[in-house]
Amino acid sequence: MIDLHHVTKKYPNGIIALEDINLHIDKGEFIYLVGPSGAGKSTFIKLLNREIKASQGQIYVGDFDLVKMRGKQLPYLRRFLSIIYQDYKLLDNKTVYENVAYAMEVIEKPRKEVKQRTMEVLELVGLKSKERMYPRELSGGEKQRVSIGRAIVNTPRVIIADEPTGNLDPETSWGIMEIFEEINNQGTTVIMATHNSSIVNTLKHRVVALEGGRIIRDDERGEYGYEA
């Protein structure tokens, strides 16, 4: 599903953000990506989404060769792999329904299919009753649910969540995690960068720990392993 072979990322300023990373992720896995600030988590995510290119090594996501791929393949990669951000990145002038449906509309899915799938997703994320509300009318947890809905509406094979509970209170965070667990149970691979030790230590999954740009730990059912 996802393979990184001897991947290094060196930025123009000389900083080596990742060094000699080797990692294999199977279809349907749930992985926590942990480590202190500056460990390389954000660079790792940007490499998988092809926002940036590796300085050395090989990266494969499904059938995509991220080192050799051409720009015209990017839209197809980003249907295969979708990212959920800490700050939601919603369209403020669109309703909950429109924010989720938009991801299907831009790839010109039939209107009937857009409506059916969008409503299915809104039910999954618990927002069916708020489909006509705007982001400004929602709580932080509800905004994150919209963000998740938008990310999964095109049924990607991989979801990457970048600190998805970072701005949320503990109770709301657990509700968001229930959605991720359900998404994973449906067969979607989930990679979650997080500093939330309580979630990592309670909902056991594979833990990949980065520090100083290197993988220092890869545990099948690990714990957070850092000071909370």
Mean pLDDT of 208-212: 97
Please give the tally of structural domains in the chain. Answer: 1
Mean pLDDT of 151-174: 95
Is 63 domain-assigned?
A: no
Predicted pLDDT of residue 86:
85
Checking if the pLDDT of 56 tops 90, the result is: yes
Is 116 domain-assigned?
A: yes
Predicted pLDDT of residue 85:
87
Checking if the pLDDT of 96 tops 90, the result is: yes
- Provide the residue count of the chain: 228
**Tokens 């705007």 — which residue?**
134
Checking if the pLDDT of 59 tops 80, the result is: yes
pLDDT band at 16 (very low <50, low <70, confident <90, very high): very high
Q: How many helices (H) and strands (E) does the chain have?
A: 7, 10
- Phi, psi at 17, each rounded to 5°: -80, -35
Is 83 domain-assigned?
A: yes
State which residues form the domain around 162: 26-54+70-219
Predicted pLDDT of residue 81:
97
pTM attached to this predicted model: 0.95
pLDDT tens digits along 99-145? 999 999 999 999 999 999 999 999 999 999 999 999 999 999 999 99
Is 78 domain-assigned?
A: yes
pLDDT band at 228 (very low <50, low <70, confident <90, very high): low
Q: Would you tell me how many other CB atoms lie within 10 Å of the CB of residue 16?
A: 16
Checking if the pLDDT of 98 tops 90, the result is: yes
Q: CATH number, domain at 114? A: 3.40.50.300
Is 203 domain-assigned?
A: yes
Is 226 domain-assigned?
A: no
